[in-house]
Amino acid sequence: MQESKDTYIHGTSEEEQKRLSLLNDLLNQSCLKEMKLEGGEKILDVGSGLGQFSRAMAKAVGTKGKVIGIERDVEQLKLANILTEQAQENDLVTFRQGDANHLPLSKEEWGTYDLVHARFVLEHLTHPEKAVAQMVKATKTGGRVIASDDDHAIFRITPEPPGFTTLWEAYMRSYDRLGNDPFIGRRLVSLLYEGGVRNIRNTILFFGDCAGNSTFEAYADNMIGVIAGAGEYMVSQSLIHPYSYQKSMEALQEWKQLPDAALWYGLCWAEGTVERKLNSNS
Ligand SMILES: C[S@@+](CC[C@H](N)C(=O)[O-])C[C@H]1O[C@@H](n2cnc3c(N)ncnc32)[C@H](O)[C@@H]1O
């Protein structure tokens, strides 16, 4: 299997897998609604992580459809299979180990998927255009490609805790230090266009909350977990002083307790169709 050297900054610790799972609980229903699945679709989920969203899509397409999740990391795959087993949903979905830059598809599978999807994946790739090219190649003529991802510049929290701007800037810089783009969300439409997709939609899914709402703690913990997961790297790369890092993380924990704490974030979403000349498969 060919594997890229892209670094996945969040890693696969138990703590991080819990965060990713919680994120899925918060986001999956609104993403599903946005997808407008009709039932019966054959879907490829690229960078499927713990597979929760792959399973949600599989339930939506029903028994006439099919979902295959492609994930590079064995630890993510292991947990994805355990969670699928626990939910007794083994018949719904299949996970394959593979790289977004070299999708592990057989000759017969290329160009046959109704929908090829990647969420929170392109932001971790040094050459997202390579993965988009593979996604397009996997899609059947007339099928859809959907990419949704972060744009870290559109994030706000109030009242802003001391040190937060420095902390968030260091977090964003950790992406470009790894050769990845922290602002990829705003490039999704162009990436799809350059990959040969006819764009049909550009939107954003609200991902935020305020203190007082039952889900606020989960949103706040997700944000804190994302930063904490990159903390060691940020400090080791001198993107932030260890003292500033520690103090601003403590301030975030205090912010979380405020009765008027609020956070705004958006998941950028681009969608298009693949239209080829007859007899062309690439
Ligand atoms: C933030 S998680 C998102 C998982 C899932 N798409 C979701 O929305 O819950 C990103 C996933 O992409 C995987 N990943 C990173 N680079 C990859 C690559 N080059 N090929 C395949 N998967 C990759 C990571 O291992 C991780 O599981």
pLDDT at 282 (0 to 100): 47
CA-70 nearest atom, ligand 1: 21
CA-8 nearest atom, ligand 1: 15
Strand ranges in 159-279 using DSSP code E only, listed in sequence order: 197-206, 209-210, 262-264, 266-274
Residues with CB under 6 A from ligand 1: 4, 6, 8, 20, 24, 47-49, 53, 71-73, 76, 99-101, 119-121, 124-125
Nearest CA among 184, 232, 271, 225 for reference residue 23: 225
pLDDT digits (tens, 9 = 90+) for 38-51: 999 999 999 999 99
262-264, strands of its sheet edge to edge: 156-158, 262-264, 209-210
Backbone angles phi, psi at 112, to 5 degrees: -120, -5
Nearest CA among 198, 228, 223, 217 for reference residue 258: 217
The alpha carbons of the chain give a radius of gyration, in whole angstroms, of 19
Record the tokens describing residue 264, joined without a space: 């705004």
Mean pLDDT of successive 10-residue stretches along the chain, which has 282 residues:
75 87 93 97 98 97 97 96 95 96 98 98 97 98 98 96 98 95 98 96 96 96 95 97 98 98 97 80 49
Residue located via tokens 């709402």: 213
- CA nearest ligand 1 atom 12, residue: 47
d(Cα 220, Cα 222) in Å, to the nearest integer? Answer: 5
Residue to mutate (ligand 1; options 2, 44, 72, 105; most atoms within 8 A of CB) = 72
pLDDT at 146 (0 to 100): 98
Domains annotated on the chain, with CATH: 14-274 (3.40.50.150)
pLDDT at 16 (0 to 100): 87
> Burial, 275: exposed, middle or buried (Cβ in 10 Å; 0-12, 13-18, 19+)?
exposed
pTM: 0.94
pLDDT at 119 (0 to 100): 98
Helices (H), 62-92: 74-86
**CA 234 to chain CA centroid, nearest Å:** 21
Residues 96 and 69: beta-carbon distance below 8 Å? yes
Nearest CA among 55, 67, 151, 137 for reference residue 100: 137
Residues 135 and 122: beta-carbon distance below 8 Å? no
Q: Which bin fits 96, alpha (ψ -120 to 50), beta or left (φ > 0)? A: beta
Distance 224 CA to ligand 1 centre (A): 19
Record the tokens describing residue 14, joined without a space: 């138990």
Record the tokens describing residue 86, joined without a space: 């626990």
